[in-house]
Amino acid sequence: MLTVRVPPGSPEAHYRRAGLLIVLTCLLLTTGVTLLLSGPFQVGRTDQLLLSLLLVKNAVFITWLWRAPGQFQVVGALELTGEILAGLYRMRDVLLVDHTAHGLSGYSYWLALPYLVASLTLPAGAALAAAAPYLLALGALGVAYWLTPGVPGDQREANTNAWLQMLLMHATFMAVITLQQQLRRRYAHAVAQAERRSAQALLDPLTGLPGRRALHDLLDAPHDVMSVVYVDLDHFKRVNDTFGHDVGDDVLRHVAHAARASVRAGDDVGRWGGEEFLMLIRGDAAGAALIAARLRAHLRDHPHPVVGAVTLSCGVAQREPGEAISSALRRADQALYAAKRAGRDTVELAVPPGAA
C-alpha cells in the first residue's frame, strides 16, 4: 500500500493519528456490539469467528497507535489494505458466488470506509491514488455480475441499480474527502504562515531577540518574584560615528548573543529599543545584579572583533508585591541613569518604592 511520509510530531500528524484512533475505536465498539448481539441476529459461526478476529485486530491497532504515535501511517496502511481486500472479497462472494442473494448484503454499508481511512493515513494525492483502484475494482465486480449467466433478470436489474447508486455514492464520497483534504491543507498552510508572521512581528529583526511588544507580553504574565534589568551600551553613538552603522548593528548582535548566553533557563532577554536591552529575571534584585555582572564579564572576555571590549550600564529593580510593572520599570530606568552618572560600565540597584 502506498504511503507518503507525514512529518512526525507535526500538527498534521497529531490530527491524522487522532482521527485514525477515533475510527478504530468506533470499529471496535461496533464489532463488539455486533458480536454480543450475534445470537438474536442469528449470525453464523463463521461470521462470529470473523467478528472475533476483527475485535482483536482493532484492539491491537489501537494499542499500537497509543504506544507508538509516530507509526500511525503504518497502522493506517495495514488497516486500509485489510479493508480493501476484505471489501472486494466479500462483494465478490455476494455478487459472483451467491447469485441468489437479495440486495448487496449489510456489509455494503461499510464499503466506503477505506476512503476515510485513506484520507487520514495519506496526503490528498496519495489517498486518491490508493482509493481510485478500489473504486474501479468495485465497478468491475458490478460489470462481472451483470454479465454472469443464471441470475434472474429482475434480481439482476434490482441489484445493478443498487450497485450503480453505491458506486455514485462512493465517487461522491471520495471527491468530498479529497476536496476536504485540499481545503484542510490550505487552511493549515494559512495558519502556519499567520503564526510565523506573528512570531516574526514579536521578534526584533536585527538581533532575533524578543522585541518590545513581546517583552510587554512577558511582563504582563504572572510571576512570583521578578526583577527587571535595563541594559544600555556605553558610548554607542561613538561606535556608529567611528565605525559606521553596519558595525554598530553587528555590535548589537554581539551583545544580544552574549545576553542569551548569560541568562538562565526561565529568564528572558529582549531588545527594548535602540542600544537598550531588557532582562526579565525570575528572582530577587541581588540575583538579577549577578546576572547583569555575568553579562558584563562575558563581553570583557569576548571583545568585538572590530570595536573591541563593549561595556554596559545596568539598572536593576525588583518588582515588589502589588507594584505595577510600570513602576518597577521606572525604578530600573532611574537606576540605569544612576549607573551612567557613576561613570558607566557598572550595575546599580534601584531604590525601593516609597524610600527617600
Q: For 215-230, write each residue's pLDDT tens digit.
A: 988 888 777 789 999 9
pLDDT of residue 226: 92
Whether the per-residue pLDDT at 3 is higher than 60: the answer is no
In this structure, the answer to whether residues 237 and 331 fall within a common structural domain is yes
Residue 315 within any structural domain of the chain: yes
CA dihedral 143→152→84→130, nearest 10 degrees, is 20
| Strands 312-318 and 268-273, bridge-based pairing | unpaired
> Which of 13-22, 34-43, 178-187 shows the lowest per-residue confidence on average (mean pLDDT)?
34-43
Pick the closest to residue 134 from 156, 104, 110 (CA basis).
110
Q: Identify whether 356 is part of a domain.
A: no
What's the CA gap between 259 and 281, in Å, rounded? 12
Q: Are strands 226-233 and 276-282 parallel, antiparallel or unpaired?
A: antiparallel
144 and 105, same structural domain?
yes
Catalytic residues: 275
162 close to 112: Cβ distance less than 8 angstroms: no
Query: Predicted confidence band at 259 (pLDDT cuts at 50, 70, 90)?
Result: very high
Residue 205 resides in a domain? no
* Structure confidence at residue 356 (pLDDT): 47
How far is Cα 58 from Cα 65, in angstroms, rounded to an integer? Answer: 11
Report DSSP state, residue 102: S
Asked if pLDDT for residue 355 goes beyond 70, the answer is no
| Residues 35 and 128 grouped into a single domain | yes
Q: What is the mean pLDDT of the chain?
A: 86
Whether residue 155 lies inside any domain: the answer is yes
Q: Is the pLDDT of residue 95 over 90?
A: no
| pLDDT at 231 (0 to 100) | 97
Residues 227 and 185 in one domain: no
Q: Report the distance separating Cα 341 and Cα 312, nearest Å.
A: 13
In this structure, the answer to whether residues 86 and 173 fall within a common structural domain is yes
- Same domain flag for 226 and 185: no
Confirm whether 240 is domain-assigned: yes
State pLDDT tens for residues 119-157: 888 887 888 888 889 989 988 988 888 887 877 777 777
Confidence of residue 198 (pLDDT cuts 50, 70, 90): low
pTM: 0.54
Quickly list DSSP for 292-354: HHHHHHHHHHS-BTTTB---EEEEEEEPPTT--HHHHHHHHHHHHHHHHHTTSSSEEEPPPTT
Residue 271, phi then psi, degrees to nearest 5:
-90, 120
Number of separate domains in the chain: 2
Same domain for 186 and 218: no
In a domain, residue 168? The reply is yes
- Full domain range(s) for residue 192: 11-199
pLDDT at 103 over 70: no
Tell me the C-alpha distance between 342 and 213, whole Å: 31
Among 199, 223, 250, identify where a domain stops. Answer: 199
Evaluate if residue 257 carries a pLDDT over 90. Answer: yes
350: left (phi over 0), alpha (psi -120 to 50) or beta: beta
Q: State the Cα–Cα distance between residues 196 and 208, nearest whole angstrom.
A: 14
Q: Higher-confidence residue: 149 or 299? A: 299
Considering the domain boundaries, does residue 35 fall inside one? yes
164 shares its domain with 227 = no
Residue 271 lies in a domain: yes
Q: What CATH number did the domain enclosing 314 receive? A: 3.30.70.270
Give the pLDDT mean for 49-68: 91
30 plus 88 within the same structural domain: yes
Angle between helical axes of 285-301 and 245-262 (0-180°, round to 10):
130
